[in-house]
A and B are shown apart, each in its own frame.
Chain A
Amino acid sequence: MQFLISMHINPAVLDALTDEEKEAIGTGHAALLAAVKESGELITTQALVDPSQAAVVRVRDGQPVVTDGPFLEAKEFLGGFYLVDCENKERAIELAAMVPDAAIEGLGVEVRQVMFADGPLEG
Chain B
Amino acid sequence: MTAPRNNPVGDLLRALTPQVLGALLRRYGRFDGCEDAVQEAVLAAATQWPVEGVPDNPRGWLVTVASRRLIDQVRSDRARREREAALAAEVVPADVPDTDDTLVLLFLCCHPTLTPASQTALTLRAVGGLTTAEIARAFLVPEATMAARISRAKQRIRAAGSEFRLPADAELAERLRVVLHVLYLIFNEGYTASSGADLDRADLAYEAIRLARLVHAQLPDDDEVTGLLALMLLTHARRAARTTATGDLVPLAEQDRSRWDRGLIDEGTELAKAALAGPALGPYQLQAAIAATHADAATAERTDWRQVAALYLILSRIAPNPMVTLNRAIAVAELDGPAAGLDLLSTLDDDGRMAAHHRLLSVRAHLLERSGDLAGAYDHYRRAARATASRAEQRYLESRAKRLKPRL
Contact = CB atoms under 8 A, between A and B. Distances in A.
Contacts of A116: 195, 391
Given A115-B389, A115-B390, A121-B137, A85 B145 contact: yes
B116 A115 contact: no
A117 B115 CA distance: 24
Given A85-B141, A87-B116, A123-B133, A117 B195 contact: yes
Interface in B137-153: 137, 139-143, 145-152
Contacts, number: 54
A95 to B, nearest CB: 13
B196 interface: yes
B145 A43 contact: yes
Contacts of B117: 85-87
A2 B140 CA distance: 9
A39 interface: yes
Contacts of B389: 1, 113-115
Contacts of B152: 38-40
Given A85-B145, A117-B195, A121-B197, A40 B139 contact: no
A38 B148 contact: yes
A116 B147 CA distance: 23
Contacts of A86: 117
Given A40-B148, A87-B117, A115 B141 contact: no
A21 B181 CA distance: 45
Contacts of A37: 148
Interface string A69-102: 0000000000000000111000000000000000
A59 B115 CA distance: 48
Contacts of B145: 40-43, 85
Interface string B162-183: 0000000000000000000000
Nearest to A42: B145
Interface residues of B, number: 26
A44 B394 CA distance: 27
A40 B197 CA distance: 22
Contacts of B133: 123
B357 to A, nearest CB: 12
A45 to B, nearest CB: 12
A104 to B, nearest CB: 28
Nearest to B148: A40
A34 B92 CA distance: 40
A121 B196 CA distance: 10
B150 A40 contact: yes
Contact of A87 (B115, B140, B148): B115
A86 B115 CA distance: 10
Contacts of B148: 37-40, 42
Interface in B182-234: 195-197
B309 to A, nearest CB: 30
A115 B148 CA distance: 24
A118 interface: yes
Chain A CB within 10 A, most for which of B141, B143, B197, B391: B141
User: Which 5 residue pairs of A and B lie closest in terms of their CB atoms, listed nearest first?
Assistant: A40-B149, A40-B148, A85-B141, A116-B195, A115-B389
Given A39-B152, A41-B145, 6 more contacts: A39-B148, A40-B147, A43-B141, A115-B394, A116-B195, A118-B196
Interface of A: 1-2, 37-44, 85-87, 113-118, 121, 123
28 contacts: A1-B389, A2-B140, A38-B148, A38-B152, A40-B118, A40-B145, A40-B146, A40-B149, A40-B151, A41-B145, A41-B149, A42-B148, A85-B139, A85-B141, A87-B115, A87-B117, A114-B389, A115-B389, A115-B391, A116-B391, A117-B140, A117-B195, A118-B196, A121-B137, A121-B140, A121-B196, A121-B197, A123-B133
